[in-house]
Amino acid sequence: MIDGPRLLASDLLGGFECAAQKRRDGIRLDIQASTGHDRRTAGDYGLLQAHGMMACRDGLRWHRIEARPRRYDWSEVVPMLEAARATGMEVIWDLLHYGIPNGLDIWSADFVTRFATFAGAAAQQVKDHSDQPAWFTPINEISFWAWCGGDTGGLNPFARDRGGALKRQLVRAALAATAAIRGVDPRARIACAEPLIRILPNGTDHAAIERAHRHNEAQFETLDMLLGRQAPELGGHAGAIDLVGLNYYYNNQWIDEGRTIFLGDWLHRPLSDLLVDVGSRYDQPLYLAETGTEGVFRPGWLRYVCDEVRETRRRGVGIAGICLYPILSHLGWDDDRKCENGLFDGYSADCPRRPHPGLADEARVQAMRFAGEAQSPPRRASMSRASGSQVVTHAL
């Protein structure tokens, strides 16, 4: 393990899904409400802590807090903040998880201004209800949102062939929000959450290889913009991010326009290799901001990811934690199917929080292992950029 101060309160985190986008049919999703987490926050935090998770990702829903322009209603937020303080839960607060207020044009300058003002006001609320430095993720998955919402029309604002413009707009807003947050609380820390995806060429010809390479490199555009490495006119800078968050799922490797490369496939590349490559590119602390799978594979997937994180640490890259996401199984975004992807059931606001037995056991085992490793004499490891592995990761 890396010798140095712990960034997060535990190696295992739980992530509460807080997607709040409008679907094409006009229906607003609100996963915090549909799972009941917004009303059961203290109890949910206690369940996480019983499984060794002293930190989590959670969300403050902009569309509900600012239902009327520039007027904030914190009545639903304060109990969540008080629950975090009462339970001692360390929270990384998402401020924009696809859901913007009604009537706000995401392409407008007003979107950037209003979001930054909201972020500053949210930071003040968090500061008022906690004595500890706060964590924030201003905008979740800018890369995915830009692709799905800007290129394919699959997510609001349902645009096509405008992914690059949407990505730049979201980066502007995230940077403005970061400045507003730090203006309120200089102690606040910023974590991003961006997809970690690998794609292989669909063929051996030069065009296929080049196409895959472009997709792979596009993965890093958002991070590079936030850090001022690309498009400096957007205002990015080296201190914009304190923790690089990466979202990695069971289906995050595939052949371009072809099949998924699942774990166990001879083409599958170990997660530790991908993490070492990102660590060598940015030389900053990383964490897995989202990871998980569905059904009976949940315990095995968590075991695999934890082992790969240990290997990544052994190779000298600092990984602050692993966020099991989502922590509550919920109904599907586009239908009412039961997504069996959580540690606990959350299919309705009042349903019992039944744990998945295999995943619950594995989470406890992994939490205990990490706790034991933290007590061992730390292994000093170099933060060298040399990885000896090829970067072949894909971005949406």
**Could you tell me which of 139, 138, 161, 143 has the C-alpha nearest to residue 197?**
143
Residue 197's beta-bridge partner residues?
Answer: 394
Report if pTM > 0.75: yes
Q: Which residues does 247 contact at the CB level (< 8 Å), separation at least 6?
A: 141, 144, 193, 194, 195, 196, 288, 289, 290, 291, 325
Print burial letters for 251-263: b (CB count within 10 Å at least 16), e (below 16). Answer: ebbbbbeeeebee
For the chain, 396 residues long, give each residue's pLDDT as a single digit of tens: 344 568 999 999 999 999 999 999 999 999 999 999 999 999 999 999 999 999 999 999 999 999 999 999 999 999 999 999 999 999 999 999 999 999 999 999 999 999 999 999 999 999 999 999 999 999 999 999 999 999 999 999 999 999 999 999 999 999 999 999 999 999 999 999 999 999 999 999 999 999 999 999 999 999 999 999 999 999 999 999 999 999 999 999 999 999 999 999 999 999 999 999 999 999 899 999 999 999 999 999 999 999 999 999 999 999 999 999 999 999 999 888 999 999 999 999 999 999 999 999 999 999 999 999 987 654 443 333 333 333 333 333
Question: How many C-beta atoms surround the C-beta of residue 311 within 10 A?
Answer: 17
Tell me which architecture the domain covering 12-375 has in CATH. Answer: Alpha-Beta Barrel (3.20)
The pair of structure tokens assigned to 13 is: 């985190």
Structural contact between residues 270 and 307, judged by C-beta atoms closer than 8 angstroms: no
SS3 category, 331: strand
CA atoms 113, 115, 116, 117: torsion sign: positive
CA atoms 259, 260, 261, 263: torsion sign: negative
H helical segments located in 16-162: 31-34, 41-50, 62-65, 77-87, 109-128, 142-150
How many whole angstroms separate alpha carbon 332 and alpha carbon 338?
6
